[in-house]
Every structure is written in C-alpha cells, then in structure tokens.
DNA sequence: CAGATTGTTGACTATTCGGTAAAAATGCAG
DNA sequence: CTGCATTTTTACCGAATAGTCAACAATCTG
C-alpha cells in the first residue's frame, strides 16, 4: 500500500494500461453525449451506458461530472486551435486563408461532436473555458490578426478587419456541424450525397475568398 | 361558474387582463433563462424567480415546462423568419441581400436571447421544431433559393449556390449573438464601444457582398 | 502461488426538480 | 356589500440523478 499511495498524491503518477484505455473510452462517450445534450442535459448514466460501464466504475476514473467535462475539454481544445496556429505568415495570403478555411471545415466535418460541444459551452456562457478564451485564444487571435493586417497593408489582401474575418470564418465553418439538423431539414438527403462536402467547401471558399482578394 | 367554465374548454377563450400580463412576463423570463441554459438546463424555479412569481403560480398559467417552452417558440418563430420573407424578388439582387443581412444582424443585436434560444434548440437536435424546419422553413428557403437562382441566371449575381449563400448569411449574422462570450473574450470592451455594431455590419457586408457581386 | 493493489459492482443516500392538491387571498359583476 | 370566479400560496409527492460505500473480482508483483 504505502508506496503506491504515496506516489499517487498530486495525481501526477503515470496511469496503468487499464486506466489509459478506460479514460479514453469514457472521454469519447462523454464527448458524444455532452455535444448533444449539453452539460446539464447529460447524465452520468448516459455516459456510462455509452461507455459500456457501470456508473460507479466510471466515477472511479472521474470523481465528478465536472471532471468528465473538464477532461473532454482538455482533450479537444488544443486540436481545435491547431488550424489557426498553423497559418503561415510567410505564405501567400489568399492561399493561407484557403488552407485555414479548408482545414476548419474538414475538422468540423470529421468531428462534428467536438464542434457542437464547444458551441454548447460558449452558448452557455463558457463557464469552464472563460479564462482560456481570454488568454490563450485571445493571444493567438491577436497574433494572427497582426499578420492579416500586415498582409492588407502590403496590398496583398483587400482591406478587411482581421477580427471580423476570423469570426466570419469560424461562424461559417462550424455552422455545418452545429446546425446540422437545420441544414438537413432544408436540404434533405442531399447532405449525404457523395460530393456534398466538396461542393460546400467550394461554395464557401468562392464567396469568402472573393471577398478578400485584391481587385 | 357555469358560463366561464364552459367557455374555457378548447382553451379558445379570450384571456383576462391579468392572464395577458402574466403570460407575457413569464414568456419574457423564460426566453432569458432558456436562451442561456437550454431546455433541460433550465428549471421552472429559475423562470419563476426571474418572473417574480411562485412556481405553482407560474404553473397555473403554463401547466408544464414543455408548454412554457412551446410558448416561447411560438412567440418568436414568426418574427425570426420575417427578414427572409421580406426579400423582394423584384428588387436589385445585391441591394436585397444587403437589406436581408442588415435586418438579420439588427435582429440578432436587438434580441440576442432569441438567437441563442434557437441555437440551443437546433444544437440539441431541434426536438420541438423539427417539423417546422422541414415544412415551413424548407418551403420558404426553397422559394427564396429559386429567386436567387433566377438572379444568377439573369447575370445579376455571381454564380453562387443559393442554399449555401443563405447558410452563410445565417451563420455569420447569428454568430455575434450566439458566440457573444467568445467575441468579448477576444475583443474585450471594444464590443461595447459605440459604433462597434456599425463597424461589424460594414465588415460583414463588405466581404459577403463582394463575394456575390458580378465582376 | 500469495499478498497487495487495482478495478468493478449492487445497493443505497441526499438532493433537486417537475408537478399536484387544496386552501387562502384577491378581483369583480351585480 | 355579496357571492362567485380567478389568482396566489403553502405544503407536499414521486421520479430522476449526482455521488457514496463496502464488498467482491481481476490483475499485478515478487
């Protein structure tokens, strides 16, 4: 007892194989459930069932519902910002924007649950990530906005406000995941047609990029 | 007893003065609460407190939580579609789009709670308005899309997919209400500066309209 | 294999929350 | 003012749900 018990304080010990597997299973299940029902709308039982696990067992890995939620956040946040981080200040402005938009769209399409998860969090007032938004996100956006502003001043981009440009890109690329139900209601099975995704990408790129190209 | 009791069956009787006032107070409070916490995240007690009313008293006016929610929906849905309905097939395409975008933005700014309310409903799978979306909304969008397609075929608009254009407009105009917290985190008090709203409108219009103008 | 540790579960608790019943208070028509 | 209808409140109930506990099972280590 003694050793393991001592080592585990600070929660900094390396997890066992089983812990690693089960935590991952739980986080996957939790992302699905939270993304549909939001924090309060989701129950631990739902998550446990989706993870094929009893509730007490799940609570053995994450002591509280909040901890599960925090775990999902942590596992998703960084990946979510990766496309923005990856914008290259030395690249061709329009090409960089095209790439950023494409990657954001691709991520929303591949992980719609993650997109909806964030949308829920923000809609509910971002209680868990308010600090993150005001620090990390803000810094990143500030940096990339400076970059865009430079592109504009160099005459390589139409005079757009960088912040509004990013908001516009976020809004549009996440819309197809977050408002999926509405889009399906309007377009019907069209959405599942092969090629729909590519068509969407083209439609967005064509309008957004035309709006920022120098003319 | 007899008369009033008889008249009230079918629920079709005209409400008393007190009923009219209190229902309205409840719906206002409910919109605020639902828009932040979603359906399941909101409690009747919260709404009752915001309405300065005891829970049983509130339930005297709306028998169930679902009824309150439905009441809010009904009170908001029509108004929400009004800008789209108001697009004029005989107007100048770019001018009509400018007007539509402007009106949507204005509505989101004036009633951000309504915008967030819908966003929550859709995010959670639109359980209460799924039929509405597939019938009324779809019909309206289909009609307006035909109109846009005609504009394109007449060479008065760049060749854009009408549906994606509308999705793009919805996404962007509602983003500032729905993701308000995130935008405030990035921009800070900037958001409350007088003129910010106008600047936002200009930024959006400039990018979106440039994307659809014939060149 | 034996002992210790880690993992799993059924049964339970406390609380929150949607909703009800019935009495008390208020409003109102004649 | 009187009597009836409407409105409001007090005191509840039952279901759902976050979280606990103690006993049991699997696994790991020497």
Model pLDDT for residues B70-101, shown as the tens digit of each residue: 999 999 999 999 999 999 999 999 999 999 99
- Determine contact, residues A31/A114, Cβ cutoff 8 Å: yes
Three-class SS of residue B124? coil
Name the band, by pLDDT with cuts 50, 70 and 90, for residue A193: very high
Residue pointed to by tokens 């809010």: B72
- Determine contact, residues A150/A190, Cβ cutoff 8 Å: no
Amino acid A55 CA to nucleotide D19 C1' distance, rounded Å: 10
pLDDT at A13: 60
* A123 → closest Cβ in B119, B183, B203: B119
Above 50 in pLDDT, residue B1? no
pLDDT at B13: 58
Query: Distance between CA B164 and CA B161 in Å, rounded?
Result: 6
Above 80 in pLDDT, residue B9? no
Best B117, B137, B181, B188 member to test A by mutation, with max A CBs in 10 Å, is: B181
**Residues of chain A with C-beta less than 8 angstroms from the C-beta of B122:** 178-179, 181-182
Above 70 in pLDDT, residue A119? yes
Residue pointed to by tokens 């100048």: B92
Best B123, B131, B204 member to test A by mutation, with max A CBs in 10 Å, is: B123
For residue B130, the number of C-alpha atoms closer than 13 Å in the C-beta half-sphere is 10
CA-only gyration radius of chain A, Å = 21
Above 50 in pLDDT, residue B205? yes
**Number of CB pairs < 8 Å for A and B?**
171
- Strand C nucleotides where any atom sits below 7 Å of a protein CB: 4-11, 16-22, 27-28
Above 50 in pLDDT, residue B5? no
- Strand D nucleotides where any atom sits below 7 Å of a protein CB: 4-11, 16-22, 27-28
For residue A111, the number of C-alpha atoms closer than 13 Å in the C-beta half-sphere is 15
Asked which of B17-26, B86-95, B143-152 is least confident by mean pLDDT, the reply is: B17-26
Above 90 in pLDDT, residue A68? yes
- Within 10 Å of residue B59's Cβ, how many Cβ atoms? 16
Tell me the mean pLDDT in the region B129-147: 97
If we measure between CA atoms, which residue out of A88, A87, A215, A85 comes closest to residue A156?
Answer: A215
User: What token pair was written down for A120?
Assistant: 């829920």
The CA angle A31-A37-A40, to the nearest 5 degrees, is 100
Q: What would the pLDDT profile of B150-160 be if each residue is shown by its tens digit?
A: 999 999 999 99
pLDDT at B14: 67
Average pLDDT score, chain A: 92
Above 90 in pLDDT, residue A99? yes
* A41 → closest Cβ in B116, B124, B174: B124
Tell me the mean pLDDT in the region A44-49: 97
Q: Is the CB of A44 under 7 A from strand D?
A: yes
pLDDT at A210: 86
Above 80 in pLDDT, residue B4? no
* Helix, strand, coil % over all residues of chain A, rounded to 5: 80, 0, 20
Above 50 in pLDDT, residue A7? no
pLDDT at A16: 79
pLDDT at A54: 96
Identify the DSSP state of A86: T
Query: Distance between CA A37 and CA B97 in Å, rounded?
Result: 35
Tell me the mean pLDDT in the region A59-66: 97
**Residues of chain A with C-beta less than 8 angstroms from the C-beta of B204:** 164, 168
Identify the DSSP state of B76: H
């Amino acid at each position: 007892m003694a050793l393991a018990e001592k080592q585990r304080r600070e929660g900094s010990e390396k997890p066992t194989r089983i812990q690693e597997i089960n935590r991952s299973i739980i986080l996957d299940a939790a992302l699905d459930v939270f993304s549909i029902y939001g924090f309060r709308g989701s129950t631990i039982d739902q998550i446990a069932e989706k993870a094929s696990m009893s509730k007490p067992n799940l609570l053995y890995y994450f002591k509280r519902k909040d901890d599960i939620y925090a775990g999902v956040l942590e596992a998703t946040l960084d990946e979510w910002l990766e496309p923005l981080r990856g914008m290259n200040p030395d690249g061709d402005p329009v090409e960089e924007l095209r790439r950023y938009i494409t990657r954001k769209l691709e991520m929303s399409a591949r992980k719609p649950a993650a997109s909806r998860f964030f949308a829920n969090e923000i809609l509910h007032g971002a209680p868990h990530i308010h600090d993150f938004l005001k620090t990390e996100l803000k810094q990143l956006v500030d940096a990339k906005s400076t970059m865009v502003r430079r592109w504009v001043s160099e005459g390589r981009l139409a005079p757009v406000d960088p912040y509004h440009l990013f908001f516009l890109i976020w809004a549009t690329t996440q819309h197809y995941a977050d408002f999926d139900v509405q889009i399906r209601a309007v377009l019907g099975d069209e959405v599942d047609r092969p090629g729909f995704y590519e068509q969407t990408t083209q439609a967005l790129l064509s309008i957004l990029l035309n709006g920022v190209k120098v003319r």
